[in-house]
């Protein structure tokens, strides 16, 4: 129901000239009074959904809560500046938990130049929820949005996909520096980060760009974790299926015009891998191509379920 709710909400919200970009992208872009632009995003992480305090170290939880927001700013090619931290703590053990969450997120904040600007710390008789709002600024190239992909653009991705549940969903490196570098040096048309699943987030980018995409099955970078998970679970889902739908990879999907894509792949300016996995097409829809031909690709991934 999450996407149904978002559709309702976007229709319900009035237009506002101060929103260069409102709900529907990885972050909002606000025009401030004096022409400056402020990028803002919020993510709420909850116990037993995004982590499980019965087994996960609160420091890793704190790190993840900030990292997922950093990944949203990476998807906008925006520079992070400041964070506000809202905590809802269980009463019992809340003090130590709060301190450990901060101990986990502060080194990451330092690494990415994020000032902790403020927060709100609450306690209740419920489980932990962590809400982080991250603010940032666009560069002179403006924000990288979801809506700019065009038919003929190449689909480039950073890193590899699948099996993040084995631990990478805590320890991933948000692609902020990578996005800033690529956005500064190459012509990028659109971008999104993979939080909920490669096929699902690619589909979202296509929706906003009013286009479709064809993936080359053999080119999708499957993470070693996806291979391990497929082998361990033995539930009939292949490692490629894990790569397409597991989510929480927090890698980037970029729409890049062919000339820039060729240049980029020749120059390889990043330390992380960059792979061409297919092409954006005019017709709406997702397809997968392999030796057997082209077939429709279902969007699969994580969506919050409520009704």
Residue in the structure block whose two tokens are 């939080």: 195
- Tell whether residue 74 is a contact of a second copy (CB under 8 A): no
Q: How many helices (H) and strands (E) does the chain have?
A: 9, 13
Residues 35-54 that bind a second copy (CB under 8 A): 35-36, 38, 40-44, 46-49
Give the residue from 210, 216, 66, 80 showing the smallest Cα distance to 146. Answer: 210
Binding part of the chain for a second copy, among 24-32, 153-161, 234-242, 293-301 by CB under 8 A, reads 24-32
| Residue from 65, 75, 88, 160 binding a second copy (CB under 8 A) | 88
- Tell whether residue 7 is a contact of a second copy (CB under 8 A): no
| Residue from 84, 165, 181, 265 binding a second copy (CB under 8 A) | 84
- Tell whether residue 85 is a contact of a second copy (CB under 8 A): yes
Give 102-111's long-range contacts (Cβ < 8 A, gap of 24+): 102/62, 103/59, 103/62, 104/57, 104/58, 104/59, 104/60, 104/61, 104/62, 104/63, 105/62, 105/63, 105/65, 105/66, 105/132, 107/63, 108/63, 108/66, 108/67, 108/70, 109/66, 109/83
Nearer to a second copy by Cβ, of 130 and 243: the residue is 130
Residues 108-137 that bind a second copy (CB under 8 A): 110, 115-127, 129, 131, 133, 135, 137
Residues 90-109 that bind a second copy (CB under 8 A): 90-95, 98-99, 102, 106
Residues 132-191 that bind a second copy (CB under 8 A): 133, 135, 137
Are β-strands 78-90 and 129-138 bridged in parallel, bridged antiparallel, or unpaired? antiparallel
How many residues touch a second copy under the rule CB under 8 A: the total is 75
d(CA 128, CA 148): 37
Q: Do residues 274 and 265 make contact, with C-beta atoms less than 8 angstroms apart?
A: yes
CA distances from 72 to 17, 90, 155, 225 (A): 23, 28, 18, 23
Nearer to a second copy by Cβ, of 122 and 273: the residue is 122
- Tell whether residue 73 is a contact of a second copy (CB under 8 A): no
Q: Do residues 195 and 201 make contact, with C-beta atoms less than 8 angstroms apart?
A: yes
Residues 198-217 that bind a second copy (CB under 8 A): none
Q: List the structure tokens of 237.
A: 């889902």
- Tell whether residue 22 is a contact of a second copy (CB under 8 A): yes
Nearer to a second copy by Cβ, of 95 and 259: the residue is 95
Q: How far apart are CB 307 and a second copy at their closest, in Å?
A: 6
- Tell whether residue 30 is a contact of a second copy (CB under 8 A): yes
């Amino acid at each position: 129901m999450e996407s149904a709710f978002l559709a309702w909400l976007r229709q319900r919200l009035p237009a506002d000239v101060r929103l260069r970009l409102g709900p529907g992208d990885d972050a909002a872009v606000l025009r401030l009074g004096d022409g400056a632009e402020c990028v803002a995003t919020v993510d709420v992480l909850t116990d037993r959904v995004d982590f499980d305090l019965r087994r996960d170290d609160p420091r890793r939880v704190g790190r993840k809560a900030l990292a997922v927001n950093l990944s949203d700013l990476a998807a906008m090619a925006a520079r992070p500046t400041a964070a506000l931290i809202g905590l809802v703590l269980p009463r019992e053990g809340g003090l130590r938990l709060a301190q450990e969450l901060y101990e986990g997120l502060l080194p990451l904040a330092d690494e990415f130049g994020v000032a902790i600007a403020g927060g709100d710390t609450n306690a209740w008789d419920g489980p932990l929820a962590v809400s982080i709002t991250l603010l940032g600024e666009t560069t002179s190239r403006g924000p990288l949005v979801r809506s700019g992909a065009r038919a003929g653009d190449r689909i480039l991705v950073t890193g590899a996909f699948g099996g993040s549940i084995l631990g990478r969903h805590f320890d991933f490196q948000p692609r902020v520096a990578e996005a800033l570098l690529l956005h500064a040096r190459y012509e990028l048309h659109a971008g999104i980060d993979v939080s909920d699943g490669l096929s699902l987030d690619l589909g979202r980018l296509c929706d906003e760009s009013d286009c479709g995409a064809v993936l080359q099955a053999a080119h999708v970078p499957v993470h070693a974790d996806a291979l391990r998970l497929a082998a361990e679970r033995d539930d009939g889902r292949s490692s490629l299926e894990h790569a397409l739908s597991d989510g929480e990879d927090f890698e980037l999907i970029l729409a890049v015009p062919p000339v820039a894509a060729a240049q980029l792949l020749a120059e390889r300016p990043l330390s992380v891998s960059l792979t061409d996995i297919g092409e954006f097409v005019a017709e709406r829809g997702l397809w997968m191509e392999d030796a057997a031909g082209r077939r429709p690709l279902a969007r699969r991934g994580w969506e919050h379920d409520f009704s």
